[in-house]
Amino acid sequence: MGLGDVYKRQVFQFAASVVILIGAIVVSRQLRLIKSFDLGLDKDQVVTLENNLQIYGQMDAFKQDLLGRPGILAAAYGGQRPIDVGQTIGVDWDGNPESIPARIGYLMADYDFFEVFGMDIVRGRGFSPDFNDAEADTCVVNETAARMFGWEDPIGRTIIWSQPSMDPARLRTRIVGVVKDFYDRSLHSGIRPFMMRVWKPWNSFIFIKVDSPRVSQALAGIEESFRKFAPDYTFDYEFMDDYFARQYADESQQGRLFNVFGGLSLVIAALGLFGLAAYSAERRTKEIGVRKVLGASASGLTTLLTKDYLALAGTALLIAWPAGYYFMSRWLGGFVERTPLSPWVFLAAAAAMLVVVVVAVGSRTLRAARANPVDSLRYE
């Protein structure tokens, strides 16, 4: 293999390293954005339990027992986790511009659901037993759904479910409130029209807001209540933020892989550069000796011997930057909320590569430049 082929391979290796570094930075930034993003609800310090047959028959009593425990701030039932809602339902309304019902997300909730998740009612009210909301004749919609209906004031207006399997008496529901838009799925999906109703038979989960300084005490109380009301079931709980993190397990794994392979690729590239620099310096031994005899300084010679490798690095960047932008743009395209591909991401990856070049090449060429010129000329 000729020296030209070696240089080409080194360019490719460095370009691949920079692309991987760009990927590591972008994935890390996206995961930080996901972790800190305002979902429109507070998922932290919320304990989730699955409902069961023993609790179903005494849901109100179980909830009151929980609320009497230290460290428990609020509790509510729900049909699904509000950050991972899979169901949609057809709804129709006066003024629907389409000939068929529109599909929207929906969730069965409880009176204190909005309190548990810190969700803001921006118009009207939330659910309340004082208004007989337990009969499922009322609903709360999100802002996106309210805009879709096209009414100047949606409060008090009626929408109709398209659900043949449901009791016909329950198909008509009156809007009593509008909740601030929230992300009911992962950030791979956008905000969609959404509605919530109170309907106890469909409450599959129990959500419990606990006080941060008293988490251990609260968990002990939750377990005691659970064993009291459902002695035949295994007590098993999960924090909502842990479930949220699992929704992005693939992205977290990708981030770890990018970090590992990015580091390994830079180490391999550095070793290759060091060997290439040593070979190049040996081939130019006489030139180095003559230049030193003519008065060239060690720093000047180091710069002279290093500039070719900086040009190599520049060529690698010209390949890596467009490639990195292309691949990471496609990856970020899977999110509706995403970190920007700002210039500093590419500059940071380039800086890391240039440090490797300077350390790997500069250390070897500086040693050659400092050699005694008599020894260099004697080599010839």
**Residue-wise pLDDT tens digits, 252-279:** 998 888 888 877 877 777 676 666 655 5
Model pLDDT, residue 329: 95
Which candidate, 50, 77, 47, 64, places its Cα nearest to that of 219?
A: 47
pLDDT band at 192 (very low <50, low <70, confident <90, very high): very high
On the question of pLDDT at 366 being above 90, the answer is: no
On the question of pLDDT at 38 being above 90, the answer is: yes
How wide is the angle at C-alpha 96 spanned by C-alphas 90 and 100, nearest 5°?
45
Model pLDDT, residue 379: 47
Model pLDDT, residue 275: 63
Model pLDDT, residue 352: 84
Place of tokens 């949220």: 244
Model pLDDT, residue 84: 92
Model pLDDT, residue 367: 56
Model pLDDT, residue 302: 58
Q: What is the pLDDT of residues 46-103, one digit of tens each?
A: 999 999 999 998 999 999 999 999 999 999 999 999 999 988 999 999 989 888 899 9
Query: 145-154, 229-238, 301-310: which has the minimum mean pLDDT?
Result: 301-310
Token pair listed for 222: 């939750």
Cα 302 to Cα 142: distance, rounded to the nearest angstrom: 66
Cα 269 to Cα 322: distance, rounded to the nearest angstrom: 20
Q: How many residues does the chain have?
A: 380
pLDDT band at 117 (very low <50, low <70, confident <90, very high): very high
CB 144 within 8 A of CB 192: yes
CB 73 within 8 A of CB 211: yes
Q: Across all residues in the chain, what is the average pLDDT?
A: 84
CB 181 within 8 A of CB 200: no
Instruction: Report which of residues 288 and 122 the model is more confident about.
Output: 122
CB 48 within 8 A of CB 207: yes
Cα 271 to Cα 49: distance, rounded to the nearest angstrom: 54
pLDDT band at 18 (very low <50, low <70, confident <90, very high): confident
